Amino acid sequence: MNNSTPIFKTWVPEWLIRLSILFLLLASVLLFALSTADGSAAAGYYGMAPADVQFSLLIFYAAIASFAGVERRFFERIVTKDYLLICILLEILIAYACYHTREIWLVFTFRFLQGLVNCGISSICLNLLFGRLKSEDSREIGYTIFYGMILCVSPVTALFAAPLVENFEYNTLYKAIIFCFLPSAALLFLILNRVRVLKNKPLYQLDWASFFLFVLMLLLIAYVLVYGQQMDWLEEPIIVYSILGILLLFIASILRQRSMKRPTVNLEVFKYRNFSIGIFFLVILYLIRGAFGLTTTYFITVLGMDTLHANELMIYNIVGIIVGSFVAIRFLIKQKLLRVLWISGFALLMVFFLMMCFLFTSEADAETFIAPLFLQGLGAGMVMSPIVMFIVSSVPLSMGQSAASVGVFVRFSAFCLSIALVNFFQLYFRGVHTNIMGRSLSLLDIELPERLRMYQSALAGRGMLKDEAAKVATGLLSKSVQKQAFLQFCVNYYELIALLCLVTMVLIALQPVISRTIINVKDKRPAAAGF
């Protein structure tokens, strides 16, 4: 960085600098979950299956995670202002291309390209933002704000998308995201001086081989965990070949990093005990967090809420995340009772899942879920950033980039695994409960003919012919059975997640090293793939 010229123009107030960076960072965060903001609308518009919608999100994530190691070299070589302009122009062009396409393979391609460019934008924002945070306390606050924002990405994106999807076609979201990028990017470009934020290094000997190995492995992991369930796992040859490909790519990646003089990922990070402990609890947190999406699905499919109102309820979850993040900051600044903070956070998450087990019913008032949603956000906010900072503090500064790369891989894999577990247990539990209820329903049951007559009378009362009413009544009964099976699945799965929270609390209690660890994030910054 040029010491004679400041990064930002001298006339710009500090609050405007930070605000412009945060707004651009928020736009890049919104882009992450845009493809799944309304899964049913996306599936209907593109003619996708629900699994395709999930895969489009994971393609974006895989691009960010794999490109993070290579991207830093571009950031170091190109002047920051020019790099920002290149990234923004590319992001807008790709979003415009997404707006005009309906081909599934093109959607996947453009989402991958969006991920690559988004990695650059996130890197610029985080380096600029953390460059303004000089004291240790402000760094901790910066980490907490950033990862709090990551926790809010799904409900915030859904709130952003819901009114647009209700009133326009789904592709309008990509036009809207362009207008989110433009004002903040233009403002940031205007107030930046033409200097380098990072030390200038020549752009040669890029480790493209590691990048390609990494991205292929991540895409195969996403493919197996998303499509494996519907293909009956090992019954399908392509799943078997994909799993073999993952193993071969994983071994090849490790051998390559070990053989390199300056590896992209230094595997020595695993020699630090605290690093492994933090990674383990981060995986658990992502598995727990992945189960939360069932709550929104329940609001829409069972209670019949429209997408907008279902996501408006998530505002209480966002408030909980903000409060939880504030509590985490106070604990981190005081540098003590970290283990108490983690146990308290996971305890609140366990309370949420147990409460929902009793609240999953066919009919309920929206107000009933305000307290549980707040508690879930409170618990997640209390543990997310402390776990990340625990991981960051566990390795020397020289290994920070390697630790970030490993963390990105683990977060991506845990995120994919959470989707796979939900899909697997949904099929398993719904099948079990549907069979049980199907066997219990027979013409000998006293209530069944009465229920069918009730449906027929209601339909006939609305002007439907008797024969048609009889057919539709049978369909309504089948739909009722499916709804009850889904409710039972939600209860069973949330019971498992509550048990996982309890086991996690016990494991944290058995690790006194957590409270003895000093959180030190001085001169360290979160990875661009912080998602």
387 lies in a domain? no
pTM of structure: 0.86
Q: What's CA 268's distance to the chain center, in Å?
A: 28
CATH code (residue 193): 1.20.1250.20
Domain boundary (171, 206, 241) is at: 206
Domain boundary (206, 235, 253) is at: 206
Nearest to 36 by CA among 290, 217, 255: 290
72 lies in a domain? yes
Full domain range(s) for residue 486: 431-496
186 lies in a domain? yes
520 lies in a domain? no
CA distances from 367 to 309, 314, 316 (A): 12, 12, 11
58 lies in a domain? yes
Q: Could you give the angle at the alpha carbon of 308 between the alpha carbons of 305 and 312, nearest 5°?
A: 95
Domain boundary (179, 206, 233) is at: 206
Q: What is the pLDDT along the chain (531 residues), one digit of tens a residue?
A: 445 678 888 888 988 988 998 889 888 888 888 877 778 888 888 888 888 988 998 999 899 888 877 887 777 788 888 989 999 999 999 999 999 988 889 999 999 999 999 988 888 888 888 777 766 667 777 778 888 888 888 888 888 888 888 888 888 999 999 998 899 899 999 998 888 877 766 666 777 888 889 899 999 999 999 998 888 888 889 999 999 999 999 999 888 888 887 777 788 888 888 888 889 999 999 999 989 988 988 888 888 888 788 888 889 999 999 999 989 888 887 766 788 889 999 999 999 999 999 998 888 888 899 999 999 999 999 998 888 888 888 888 777 777 877 888 888 888 889 988 888 888 777 666 666 655 555 544 545 555 556 655 655 555 555 556 555 555 555 566 677 778 888 899 999 999 999 999 999 988 877 766 666 666 555 655 554
124 lies in a domain? yes
402 lies in a domain? no
Number of domains in the chain: 2
Place of tokens 């683990």: 410
Number of alpha helices (DSSP H) and beta strands (DSSP E) in the chain: 20, 0
Measured distance CA(179)–CA(241) in Å, rounded: 42
Decide if 68 contacts 404 (C-beta within 8 A): yes
